[in-house]
Structure 1
């Protein structure tokens, strides 16, 4: 079992020394033995207060984390299992109000067993209050970064935890909607852990305690310092333009060609990935998503890695774009895929709907999106991530309605006509500029702007 820290201990672990200031606790609350008149409830609360030194199951306040001010909501598991009751809801609501009034990000440090039995449905209804406050904070454009401690179960996971923009978890923490006493007896315990939730796409990272302050601080800086626009990356691969369509295809498929990792490493001073589509899936081999620092400002990125993109990858990219748009952070997309995964499992996972999500997220975005095609641009699976009117290409890339071999097959041509088909499709970077499909071709080290003006 992982080490369980108290609310004060976790606050000391993640905040800059001497910066924490508690928020005033709302007055009032239920009468004797709580709203249900649960016999002995007052005595339980008194014992919990004596044991922990806290008056309720959550400690709310403001503090700096690696220099960034935030509102922190630290649960005290020693106080009736960190359970949510009416007074807990009062404190959380007041803390969210403070965050919005002062334009501060919110960091729930969650350790809870769920709703408080001694307050019945009145306790459960606090989840609606918390969800509303979280939604209002989201609408205000303020980030929420959750830290999942041991345990994070029940409604606390389903609101403050799983509802956050970025979800970090401590190693080995018990995380799941079903607590340990209400699960099926044959349930796989690994599914209810921080690591299990990461694998299922429900968390972004598992962070050791000694790295938590730095990681949390970096995330807070990234999500609160947006840039104005994402500059176009410089080309890293072969200079000079391909002579034929088939030559463009061969260059884009070359094993030695720079990939997304190379471009992201060259573009950002540092970066942090998000992980998962929040629907049970991840696609780490197909799409890299996250936020990075460039010239002291933040740019979000969704970068295809050269493999066929799976539905979870598209949903993760859509999640990234929507989050960046809400926080006012510009987006860089890197296009590099032979196309969307087209196996039967991809269809069962909703490939069409997932691609539609990305098209919709790009179309609806109010922040500027910059796209660079760095390799293969295969069909709609590539186009989904491309910014209309602001897409560029490297000399060792192509963009096509479909791969030349598949185009030849659709046209009922023999395989040996694939090369000629590539020329007919006009998929070279210079063809795409002439056709008006892309704005220009990037050189080394700066983008070469063509005669086409930027979109209005």
Structure 2
């Protein structure tokens, strides 16, 4: 079991200059709004034991150089449960964040809504959701850090609803708390590690690294810029392919530079998001935010494998977050196509691809795309920005793979090369067709790298 930190101990992990906010006054009368016998006494014992007067502590502090509104739950105060006064504090924290244009980081440790306040406690989830939505509309990032335990409505609003979700190792995380889940439930499914594997959280971060990681995220997400992302330098071949077959061969070559190499060369540092928040992850779609020349640029990069539905949904999630925060996006296109197995269909491949097409089409922030390898049909096109896509010399883009085109046309295998030429899939063909843009990414020394 993970260590259960107090609210103040959790804050000490991430900041040295925490300043508490003033809290709204309020009292529901003797033993709370329901007149629950012994509720006042329980709160008094919790206050004496923890030194806190409620289940959350709210304030501001610098996290590795970036100022933020910080909210930390005190699990020792009635299980970190949410009641009316908790809602008052959370609303005040979000209001302060919007008024002062600060990001919000919530260090969550809660068992859910407070039973002694009944439905009035449960409706605080709606209140919290409303405040989070207003902060989101204001273009301010929200980051959750899941501590032990994070369950119930606190997980389903403050935790899972954040833009980026980090978690401490071994933390119990799940909608169902340990006392209410089925007796035969696998406890391993209710952990931070399981939530990352299921795409519901982005990363597990050791306590000793939390300040640096949280600080990096806060820094990256609070630097809006409407300048487009520069197009990366090609890392592979510089000469253009002689034929369609040659273009396909070079794009499929195992030694060709892949997305990881491009991202390493492009960014001085980067932080990854993971998962589609629908139960899936795809290691073949790399998404996150990175720093280049003091600017933040978001990225979504295919890693050369068939892209799965979770990959498309994760990329759409990245596009929408970057768009809301005013951060430019770089996409790297490289896939033989969308995964087309039965499981991909059951996971909603068509809907996931459509969602990404929509996210790219609706983006107000500039999106820059570079084809770095295979461009296999709509599964690749979904990640490409219309009118703002470039290509490296060792790439191709095609309506369909030449082998499949030949098969559909009932041509023998020896006519695949001819079919590849007819498809006009080479980079120079794509320029002539107006599908991609030209510049020194394809022809070194002849163009402006800042489109």
TM-score range, shorter chain: over 0.9
Task: Please list the CA deviations of residues 380-431 of structure 1 after superposition, one character each: whole Å capped at 9, or x if unmatched.
Answer: 0000000001100000000000110011112221122111000001111011
Q: 1:350 to 1:295 in 2, by over 3 A?
A: same
Q: Deviations over 1:210-240 (max 9, x none)?
A: 0000000000000011342200000000110
Name the residue aligned to 1:65. Answer: 63
- Alignment-derived partner of residue 326 in structure 1: 324
What stretches of structure 1 of length at least 5 have no aligned partner? none
SS of the residue 1:222 aligns to: helix
1:391 counterpart (385, 389, 392): 389
Displacement after TM superposition at 1:449 (Å)? 3.2
Q: Which residue of 1 aligns with 2:265?
A: 266
Partner of 1:248: 247
Check conservation: 1:430, 1:441, Cα contact below 8 A. no
Aligned partner of 2:4 in structure 1 is: 4
Encode CA deviations 1:240-269: one digit per residue, 9 max, x unaligned.
000001100000000000000000000000
Deviations 1:303-322 (A, max 9, x none): 00000000000000000000
Q: Structure 2 CA distance, aligned partners of 1:305 and 1:43?
A: 58
The correspondence of residues 13-92 of structure 1 with structure 2, limited to 5 A, is 13-15=13-15, 17=16, 19-92=17-90
Deviation at 1:80, TM superposition (A): 0.3
Could you tell me whether the CA contact under 8 Å between 2:391 and 2:441 is conserved in 1? no
Alpha-carbon shift at residue 441 of structure 1 (Å): 5.2
RMSD of aligned residue pairs (Cα, Å): 1.3
| Secondary structure of 1:46's aligned partner | helix
Find the counterpart in structure 1 of residue 410 from structure 2: 412
Query: Matches of 2:417 and 2:209 in 1, distance apart?
Result: 52
* Equivalence map 1:224-239=2 (5 Å): 224-227=222-225, 228-239=227-238
Post-superposition Cα deviations, 1:56-82, rounded to whole Å, max 9, x if no partner, equal 000000000001000011000000000
- Pick aligned residue for 1:300 from 273, 298, 301: 298
Q: Does 1:257 align with 2:256?
A: yes
Q: 2:359 aligns with which of 333, 340, 361?
A: 361
Q: Is the 8 A contact 1:393 1:441 kept in 2?
A: no
Q: How does 1:108-119 map to 2 (within 5 A)?
A: 108-119=106-117
SS in 2 for 1:43: helix
Q: C-alpha distance in 2, partners of 1:447/1:176? A: 54
Match in the other structure for 2:151: 153
Q: Cα offset for 1:28?
A: 1.2
The alignment status of 1:347 with 2:345, answered yes or no, reads: yes
Q: Deviations over 1:5-56 (max 9, x none)?
A: 10011111111x2x21100010012111000000010000000000000000
Query: Structure 1 residues 426, 112: closer, same or farther in 2, change over 3 A?
Result: same
Match of 1:166 among 164, 167, 192: 164
TM-score, length basis structure 1: 0.97
Runs of 4+, deviation exceeding 2 Å: 441-450
Give the whole-Å Cα distance in 2 for the aligned partners of 1:2 and 1:304.
Answer: 35
Any conservation in 2 of the 1:395–1:442 contact (CA below 8 Å)? no
CA contact (8 A) 2:199 2:279 kept: yes
Q: Structure 1 residue 442: deviation in Å?
A: 4.3
Q: Secondary structure at the match of 1:64?
A: strand
Unmatched tracts of structure 2, length 5 or more: none
TM-score by length of 2: 0.98
